[in-house]
């Protein structure tokens, strides 16, 4: 331990410089927040459901609540009960054990309800696909309004997906009538 303390005293504290702020990203987040509130005319209540994910998508969803994105400050919040939710944000391939719980959560959400599948696993089953233990994609269990691919998708992509779902509810979606949920293409995918 003395060796480490002497090295700290000799070298000093070594840290990297703080990252510079991305004003373009902050402006886009504020625009998306404004669009959501303008389309709804009220706050948006989201119930997040983990249907069997690895928690990578949950980390990105949790990042939406940090001061950088600050969705709470603009009237978009997460709720503990589906009875209070406007939108279900579902992650992961739906495991067989979670299928019934996901259906019950969907049924408990009041109309008009929106469902957003987050991540490659929620959109397509990911590397797990369909098997004896997995139902695969979320749309195999409940209807999905918007699918957000990515492993995991960035918080800004999740915000774009939420905006697409809200716009779809308002009749502004350009994929209406195709029978498939619109897919929000992330910047990482081409």
How far does CA 126 lie from the centroid of its chain?
16
DSSP 127: T
pLDDT band, residue 122 (cuts 50/70/90): very high
Rounded-to-integer distance, Cα 45 and Cα 173, Å? 20
pLDDT digits (tens, 9 = 90+) for 130-188: 889 999 999 999 999 999 999 999 998 998 898 888 887 777 544 444 455 666 655 44
Could you name the CATH architecture of 35-169? 3-Layer(aba) Sandwich (3.40)
Q: Before 10, cis peptide (omega within 30)?
A: no
What secondary structure does DSSP assign to 19-74, as a single string?
PPP-HHHHHHHHHHHHHHHHHHSS-EEEEEEESS--SHHHHHHHHTTSTTT-SGGG
């Amino acid at each position: 331990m003395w060796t480490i303390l002497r090295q700290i005293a000799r070298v000093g504290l070594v840290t990297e410089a703080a990252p510079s702020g991305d004003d373009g990203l902050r402006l886009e987040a504020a625009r998306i927040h404004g669009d959501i509130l303008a389309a709804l005319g009220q706050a948006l209540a989201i119930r997040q459901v983990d249907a069997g994910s690895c928690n990578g998508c949950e980390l990105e969803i949790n990042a939406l609540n940090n001061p950088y994105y600050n969705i709470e400050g603009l009237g978009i919040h997460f709720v503990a009960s589906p009875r209070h939710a406007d939108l279900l944000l579902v992650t992961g391939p739906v495991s067989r054990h979670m299928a019934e719980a996901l259906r019950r959560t969907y049924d408990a959400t009041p109309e008009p309800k929106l469902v957003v599948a987050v991540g490659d696993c929620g959109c397509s089953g990911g590397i797990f696909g369909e098997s004896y233990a997995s139902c695969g994609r979320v749309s195999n269990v409940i209807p999905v309004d918007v699918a957000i691919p990515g492993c995991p998708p960035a918080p800004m992509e999740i915000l774009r997906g939420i905006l697409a779902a809200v716009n779809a509810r308002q009749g502004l979606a350009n994929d209406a009538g195709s029978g498939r949920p619109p897919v929000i293409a992330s910047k990482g995918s081409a």
